[in-house]
Amino acid sequence: MSGAGAQPTGVGAWWQAIRRDRKASLGAALLAFFVALGLVGPWLVGSPDALVGIPLQPPSLAHWLGTTGQGQDVLAQTVVGTRVSLLIGFGVGAAVVLLGALLGVTAGYFGGAVDGLLSLLFNVFLVLPGLPLAIVVAAYLPAGPATVAFVLVLTGWAWNARVLRSQTLMLRQRDFIAAAVVGGESHLRIITRELLPNMTSLLVAQLIGSTVYAIGAQVGLEFLGLGDVSGVTWGTNLYWATNDSALLTGAWWTFVPTGLCVALVGFALVMLNSGFDELANPRLQLERAWRGWLLGHRHPPTRSTPVVNVPPQVPRG
């Protein structure tokens, strides 16, 4: 329970939203762990490229997660791979949402020919099959993280733009936008101060969804050998594991740790999302207080207005 009505704003509000929601707290903690791993991890483990032992050793005290088919340390590879994988994931996620917001809101807000042209563009990109296009483009460009990021942004932005355009079209009709126009606000101000804040929960959901997509697709591309196979990322780890026939030889330790990392980061991001709905929708904050109060009175939250503590009545005169 917060104090006397003072609602925190900005970063404080985000922090509180995460802390109040158990799922979001779990997600944030998990994500913080991986971000920390990406930041300082590479200094804590040895070189991922060094040939440290006999190839395909199962986990042991010397090599906690065993060794790869080349005789490299799996733990070192997994930890070092975190940095680039997360960087591309968050970078692509942010770029996709930014591009989508820019084009989608522009199309929805200005309408007319602008909308016609941009909508055509969205539709073309939506029709293009994403993964095959990504594979073809990645195969022709020089391999490396930048290429992977470029390809993922290229194939990923259109859906966000499409959704934000619809949202803008709907909000555009509302009286508060008309009031802002009459009040003489500039287009930029209307878009950034009036429209975008009304889409906060959508934008955050898109950011999280796009990041999950980017991490998964990047791992997928690199797994297929379309990344820079001499680099160390989660995707190339899996590429080398397949290359060394990990499944045939039963060397589960060469791919399970990386796979688990990808799954856990995705899980963390999705958990985190649940806390953010409340931020953008003050009504949900009230619902939380309401639900908590009802549970405190041993009454389940019901669809019809709940009735709590009906005392025996004395008719009044």
User: From CA 231, how far away is CA 221, in angstroms rounded?
Assistant: 14
Tokens of 32: 């913080």
Phi, psi of 73, rounded to the nearest 5 degrees:
-80, 120
Instruction: Look at the alpha carbons of 160, 12, 30, 52 in this order and tell me if their dihedral is positive or negative.
Output: positive
Element (H, E) at 213: helix 200-223
Tokens of 283: 């009504």
User: Minimum distance from CB of 308 to other proteins (Å)?
Assistant: 5
Residue 66 Cα to chain centre, angstroms = 31
User: Minimum distance from CB of 152 to other proteins (Å)?
Assistant: 37
Minimum CB distance to other proteins smaller for 244 or for 278: 278
- Residue indicated by tokens 């499409």: 162
Minimum CB distance to other proteins smaller for 112 or for 311: 311
User: Minimum distance from CB of 310 to other proteins (Å)?
Assistant: 6
Minimum CB distance to other proteins smaller for 15 or for 293: 293
**Strand, coil or helix: what is 78?**
helix
User: Minimum distance from CB of 173 to other proteins (Å)?
Assistant: 11
Minimum CB distance to other proteins smaller for 183 or for 306: 306
User: Minimum distance from CB of 274 to other proteins (Å)?
Assistant: 18
Query: Cβ distance 44 to 82 under 8 Å?
Result: no
Minimum CB distance to other proteins smaller for 20 or for 23: 20
Minimum CB distance to other proteins smaller for 2 or for 192: 2
Phi, psi of 67, rounded to the nearest 5 degrees:
-125, 160
List contacts with other proteins (CB under 8 A). 1-2, 4-5, 285-287, 289-291, 293-294, 301-311, 313, 315-317
Tokens of 117: 């042209």
User: Minimum distance from CB of 178 to other proteins (Å)?
Assistant: 16
Alpha helix (H) residue ranges in 173-199: 175-182, 187-189
Tokens of 81: 């791979």
Minimum CB distance to other proteins smaller for 1 or for 127: 1
User: Minimum distance from CB of 215 to other proteins (Å)?
Assistant: 36
Phi, psi of 155, rounded to the nearest 5 degrees:
-95, -5
